[in-house]
Amino acid sequence: MTKFRSRIKPRNEIDVRAGGFSLPRDVGLHSRDLVVGVALAALGLILLAGQAIAGQADIVGVEASQSSDKSWRFSVTVKHDDAGWDHYADKWAVFAPDGTMLGERVLAHPHDNEQPFTRSQSGILIDEAINVVTVKAHDKVHGWGSDAFTYELKR
């Protein structure tokens, strides 16, 4: 004799179709709790996406000139989708071919409404044997950008 199994769930269980299992009715899962949990998860994803959207800081232009004292003045144009004080381009720097930092310009505040922006730094000392430098931008979340700007020094 074959036993017949009913597909009707007993009244003390809730069928959760997506997962294919049943939850007891007394688990305390209320629709309000579910809505709050989903809302908090969505808010977390939005905040993370905002940081990801800003991306890395990019150097889009460099000008340099040598002064009479043989030091260099760099004017660097940076583009970054600054997103307030927690995620903004916070500096740029000039590097020798061997990776040594020759000078940097610290950016003290976000430039949310000024993109791209140019800032200068003078007094950068560069050995006469160096003819090419690399300029990189840095932001508070991603660190140094992967796109470096190579600049040939004109003496």
Instruction: Note whether 116 and 78 are within 8 A (CB).
Output: yes
* Amino acid type, 114: E
For 74, list phi and psi in degrees, rounded to 5.
Answer: -110, 135
Q: Is the pLDDT of residue 9 over 90?
A: no
Mean confidence (pLDDT) of the chain? 79
pTM of the model: 0.65
Supply the pLDDT for residue 83.
Answer: 85
Instruction: Note whether 57 and 137 are within 8 A (CB).
Output: yes
Supply the pLDDT for residue 149.
Answer: 96
- Is residue 106 helix, strand or coil? strand
Supply the pLDDT for residue 136.
Answer: 97
For 64-80, letters b (16+ CB in 10 Å) and e give: beeeeeeebebebbbbb
Q: Specify whether the backbone of 143 is left (phi greater than 0), alpha (psi in -120 to 50) or beta.
A: left
